[in-house]
Amino acid sequence: MTQYWTDLVNRLTPYTPGEQRSGSDVVKLNTNENPYPPSELVLQAIADVSPDSLRRYPDPQSSELRKTLAGYHNVTADQVFVGNGSDEILALAFMAFFKGKAPLQFPEISYSFYPVYCDLLNITPHMIPLNSDFTLPLTQLGGKCGGIVFPNPNAPTAIAVNKSDIEKLLQNNTSTVVLIDEAYADFGAESVIDLIDRYPNLVVSRTYSKGRSMAGLRLGAAFASAELIEGLRRVKDSFNSYPVDAVAQAAGIASMGDETYYRETIKKIIATREHTTELLKAQGYRVLPSAANFIFVSPPDRDAARLFAELNKEDILVRYWNNDQLKHWLRITIGTDSEMKQLMAVLNKLHSHG
């Protein structure tokens, strides 16, 4: 605490990102990064960015990137917004659609940035407990609230919600914005972007970080009615007119042009995920059904804290939350086949030393 901070800063509990340890021996399975590099088209587009583009401000509306995304998702450019990663888009959406309203509903176990944004923006949270099997009780969402937000698939559980169930939620909740965070939808969930014409209160956020292997560039997108997109733009232009730089815009456009590489990468990650899940279950681990590029795992003895520490000593980084609800669980990002073999080898060694 410092005398120069505002009361807001003094009371904030910031989001805690996963450890970013480097080194050739580190197996980094803690931040849900794609284990494969971006498309060669992306690398070429970055190399082709001109010096003139770098000395000038980028297009503040990212017009070409928005047109590219609109064509890819079969919507119009005025239904697309882009920002500096989906985290920024979520923050702008919380400001545009939820601040100053009734309590915002989201799952009690979910993306831990949601309560941070509520704290930052003075939004009252209304957290809905998950079912005993960690599934999201969609029928309990809605009613008198200031909005609804949840990831699909959920984080950190990796469990997805059916598109038909989301549509029922939208049919029953028309007076406030419903924000579906599709950060991990590339890996097995049904997208609802094609519902934005039918439901003017629907916002769908996406990211280039996971499926497109571009976490280092910070690029995200939102899809919604033109009216809601204009709301995001108004907030953005009151905060930062140029959030997406020229390099990221060029890379984003190029990424959407290499569908074959994208599909192949996703297919490899899903295959590795399923194989790793089978191996862990065979050893007595509980693994929730995953539609993401990570799995949510509980060890046979349920001592996730000890396993987290032991893996850390072996330079294998996974994610652990030290709270009552999640203390028996680890979130493990799906890496390459080689990285997952290293994980399994260490787990086997730890198990044999029991």
Residue 13: per-residue pLDDT: 81
Report if residue 302 sits inside a domain.
yes
Q: What is the mean pLDDT of residues 344-349?
A: 94
Which tokens go with 164?
A: 């038909």
Q: How confident is the model at residue 276 (pLDDT cuts 50, 70, 90)?
A: very high
Block residue for tokens 């697309």: 80
CA 322 to chain centroid:
21
pLDDT tens by residue, 143-198: 899 999 999 999 999 999 999 999 999 999 999 999 999 999 999 999 999 999 99
pLDDT tens by residue, 135-150: 999 999 998 999 999 9
Is there a contact between 212 and 36 (Cβ–Cβ < 8 Å)? no
Is there a contact between 145 and 103 (Cβ–Cβ < 8 Å)? yes
Is there a contact between 203 and 81 (Cβ–Cβ < 8 Å)? no
Residues 317 and 175 in one domain: no
Residue 24: per-residue pLDDT: 67
Strands 294-298 and 330-333: antiparallel
pLDDT at 131 over 70: yes
Mapping DSSP to helix (H, G, I), strand (E, B) and coil, where does residue 150 land?
strand
d(CA 66, CA 152): 23
Residue 23: per-residue pLDDT: 65
pLDDT tens by residue, 330-342: 999 999 999 999 9
Could you give the number of structural domains in the chain?
2
Residue 354: per-residue pLDDT: 58
Residues 220 and 288 in one domain: no
Report if residue 199 sits inside a domain.
yes
d(CA 98, CA 73): 26
Residues 220 and 289 in one domain: no
pLDDT at 353 over 70: no
Is there a contact between 219 and 15 (Cβ–Cβ < 8 Å)? no
Report if residue 344 sits inside a domain.
yes
Q: Give the domain range for residue 29.
A: 7-37+259-353
Which tokens go with 81?
A: 């917004």
Report if residue 335 sits inside a domain.
yes
CATH number, residue 186: 3.40.640.10
pLDDT at 19 over 90: no
Domain termination site, one of 227, 255, 283: 255
Find the angle CA(248)-CA(250)-CA(256) to the nearest 5 degrees.
100
Residues 178 and 291 in one domain: no
Block residue for tokens 């509306």: 61
Q: What residues contact residue 73 under an 8 Å CB cut-off, 6+ apart?
A: 80, 193, 194, 223
Report if residue 1 sits inside a domain.
no
Q: What is the mean pLDDT of residues 111-126?
A: 94
Q: Closest by alpha carbon to 199, among 178, 180, 183, 185? A: 178
The mean of the pLDDT values for the chain is: 95
Residues 76 and 207 in one domain: yes
Domain termination site, one of 255, 282, 299: 255
Mapping DSSP to helix (H, G, I), strand (E, B) and coil, where does residue 214 land?
coil
Q: Closest by alpha carbon to 171, among 129, 137, 200? A: 200
Domain termination site, one of 255, 287, 314: 255
Residues 31 and 56 in one domain: no
Residue 11: per-residue pLDDT: 84
| Cα–Cα distance list, 36 to 24, 168, 179 (Å) | 16, 36, 29
Q: How confident is the model at residue 2 (pLDDT cuts 50, 70, 90)?
A: confident
Residues 16 and 57 in one domain: no
pLDDT tens by residue, 282-323: 999 999 999 999 999 999 999 999 999 999 999 999 999 999
Task: Find the length of the chain.
Answer: 354
Residue 242: per-residue pLDDT: 92
Amino acid letter, residue 93: A
Residue 10: per-residue pLDDT: 86
CATH number, residue 290: 3.90.1150.10
pLDDT tens by residue, 222-274: 999 999 999 999 999 999 999 999 999 999 999 999 999 999 999 999 999 99
Q: How confident is the model at residue 14 (pLDDT cuts 50, 70, 90)?
A: confident
Residue 21: per-residue pLDDT: 66
